[in-house]
């Protein structure tokens, strides 16, 4: 039967309900007990023959003649409903038999009991419709198989796939555990603007839009308020963090999305070295609270968060693998090394070639990413060249290297922190260098932000900043990033 025919049949059942004097979409519900509570308190309810009112979606229907069974699901659990013609009004029984379909939301009142097979059930005395479904659900046994349909009709995917449902419960625990960790250590949770006149805090291409009321062009933020949060350090807050949405108008891959959730934090009077212990504790707390374990299979890697995390030096690794000094090499040498290693500029983040302008920074970054793929981690990456870190301080002993730490997991960077630059003159020089890269065609280079530099001139304390996105969650789930989002962005149906 076609979907159109099924809808027509269910429309007839709406009329049947109406002729029987029952609303198909009432405004109220008399549900007073969840299925989970009914099952937990089943013995007491049965002992005292206490009447309960349950409500939920009909997931299956079976039976014939004088008895019918229905499985009722309300998001907390399932309860079997038993309709016996001998125990309830015949018209009420027949209306249920003739008007109810799998997928409908119904309310049922009665007392609990155990069937001869020991199934905890509700003996129904009364029922009514709460919401008539006009379209059929896929059979639970088969569910949704088409990958695009799974994401486009996520509500059915969650309803029919218990593991997917549990995953999004874990996602909530993931972010709550991170929030609890920061709050327990004295951080203040803040909210910073999503619309910015100058996008900053990351090397990324922003989304641009127009603000009609102010008649100005604005950008969706590409970082979780990095520059704003550092202004809050200037304002006197010693520890701040934010968990929020950020937007990057870039390519899409297993690890990269255009809009996603990110955590960023900033702690005054700390640095990257001291921050490493903090981060190790943070990640261990998150995985233990969310999953109750420390070891994960992620892609081809086995990752154990309980092990000690080694430090890997960026320049040493590049020198060993490609025979080039990432600090002293010329731009031509870096580009040639990258090309010899098979790099095609513009293909980062899984996107098609975009005409990315080859330069030393991009070339060395591509070389490192080739090395990174083979590192299981967890590990700390240190010694990244300053030219790849425009917002980080230099290392005291190695001023051409940034005092930066990245967390490496399963061949990817899954967390990034800096000893934040607080010298306004140095910051201006780096912004100006980034602007030169933009002028030369690198649309991911950062912009000169005069307001931020002015704020720094009032004095900013030394600080450690850190950011990690929902990529960590998708890695722990061993799923592509878009599958670990509730409602990932999809091309409208029918578009080429």
Q: What is the pLDDT of residues 166-185, one digit of tens each?
A: 999 999 999 999 999 999 99
Domain ranges of the chain: 3-137, 158-310+377-484
Residue 187 is predicted with a pLDDT of 98
Residue 143 is predicted with a pLDDT of 58
List the beta strands (DSSP E) in 9-104. 52-64, 67-73, 78-84
Q: Any long-range contacts for 317-320 (C-beta under 8 Å, 24+ apart)? A: 317/368, 317/371, 318/364, 318/367, 318/368, 318/371
Compute the residue count for the chain. 496
Phi, psi values for residue 422, rounded to 5°? -130, 15
Residue 253 is predicted with a pLDDT of 83
Q: What's the whole-model pTM score?
A: 0.88
Residue 198: count other Cβ atoms within 10 Å of its Cβ.
15
The fold for domain 3-137 equals: OB fold (Dihydrolipoamide Acetyltransferase, E2P) (2.40.50)
Beta-carbon contacts of 208 under 8 Å, excluding residues fewer than 6 positions away, are 217, 218, 219
Burial bucket for residue 223 (CB in 10 Å: 0-12, 13-18, 19+): buried
Burial bucket for residue 398 (CB in 10 Å: 0-12, 13-18, 19+): middle
Residue 233 is predicted with a pLDDT of 97
CA separation for the pair 339, 351 (Å, rounded): 18
Residue 433 is predicted with a pLDDT of 82
Residue 356 is predicted with a pLDDT of 61
Report, as ranges of residue numbers, the positions in the chain whose pLDDT lies below 70: 140-145, 346-356, 443-444, 494-496
Q: Which of 238, 362, 242, 378 is nearest to 307 (CA)?
A: 378
Residue 353 is predicted with a pLDDT of 45
Residue 159 is predicted with a pLDDT of 92
Residue 142 is predicted with a pLDDT of 57
CATH class of 158-310+377-484: alpha beta
Residue 493 is predicted with a pLDDT of 77
């Amino acid at each position: 039967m076609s979907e159109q025919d099924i809808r027509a049949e269910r429309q007839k059942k709406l009329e049947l309900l109406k002729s029987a004097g029952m609303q198909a979409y009432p405004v109220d519900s008399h549900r007073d007990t969840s299925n989970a509570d009914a099952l937990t308190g089943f013995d007491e309810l049965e002992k005292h023959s206490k009447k309960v009112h349950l409500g939920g979606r009909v997931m299956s229907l079976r039976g014939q003649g004088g008895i019918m069974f229905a499985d009722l699901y309300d998001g907390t659990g399932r309860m079997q409903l038993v309709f016996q013609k001998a125990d309830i009004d015949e018209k009420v029984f027949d209306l249920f038999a003739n008007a109810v379909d799998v997928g409908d939301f119904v309310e049922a009142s009665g007392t609990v009991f155990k069937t001869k097979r020991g199934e905890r059930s509700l003996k129904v005395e009364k029922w009514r419709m709460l919401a008539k479904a006009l379209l059929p659900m896929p059979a639970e046994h088969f569910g949704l198989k088409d990958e695009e349909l799974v994401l486009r009709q996520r509500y059915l995917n969650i309803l029919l796939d218990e593991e997917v449902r549990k995953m999004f419960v874990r996602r909530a625990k993931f972010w709550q555990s991170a929030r609890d960790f920061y709050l327990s250590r004295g951080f203040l949770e803040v909210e910073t603007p999503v619309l910015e006149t100058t996008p900053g805090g990351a090397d990324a291409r922003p989304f641009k839009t127009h603000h009609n009321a102010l008649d100005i062009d604005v950008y969706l933020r590409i970082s979780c308020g990095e520059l704003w949060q550092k202004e809050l350090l200037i304002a006197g807050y010693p520890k701040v963090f934010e968990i929020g949405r950020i937007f990057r108008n870039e390519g899409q891959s297993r690890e990269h999305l255009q809009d996603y959730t990110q955590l960023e934090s900033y702690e005054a009077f700390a640095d990257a070295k001291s921050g490493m212990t903090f981060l190790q504790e943070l990640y261990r707390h998150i995985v233990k609270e969310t999953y109750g374990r420390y070891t994960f299979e992620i892609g081809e890697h086995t990752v154990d968060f309980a092990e000690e995390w080694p430090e890997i030096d960026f320049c040493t690794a590049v020198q060993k693998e490609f025979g080039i000094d990432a600090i002293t090499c010329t731009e031509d040498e870096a580009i040639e090394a990258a090309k010899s290693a098979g790099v095609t500029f513009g293909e980062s983040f899984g996107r098609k070639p975009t005409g990315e302008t080859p330069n030393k920074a991009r070339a060395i970054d591509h070389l490192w990413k080739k090395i990174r793929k083979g590192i299981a981690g967890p590990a700390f990456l240190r010694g990244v060249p300053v030219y790849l870190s425009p917002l980080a301080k230099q290392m005291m002993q190695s001023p051409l290297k940034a005092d930066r730490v990245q967390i490496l997991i399963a061949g990817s960077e899954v967390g990034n922190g800096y000893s934040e630059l607080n010298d306004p003159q140095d910051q201006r020089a780096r912004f100006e260098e980034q602007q030169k890269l933009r002028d030369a065609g690198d649309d991911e280079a950062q912009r000169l932000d005069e307001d931020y530099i002015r704020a720094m001139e009032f004095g900013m304390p030394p600080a450690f900043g850190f950011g990690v996105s929902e990529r960590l969650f998708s890695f722990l789930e061993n799923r592509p990033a878009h599958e670990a989002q509730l409602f990932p962005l999809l091309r409208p149906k029918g578009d080429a």
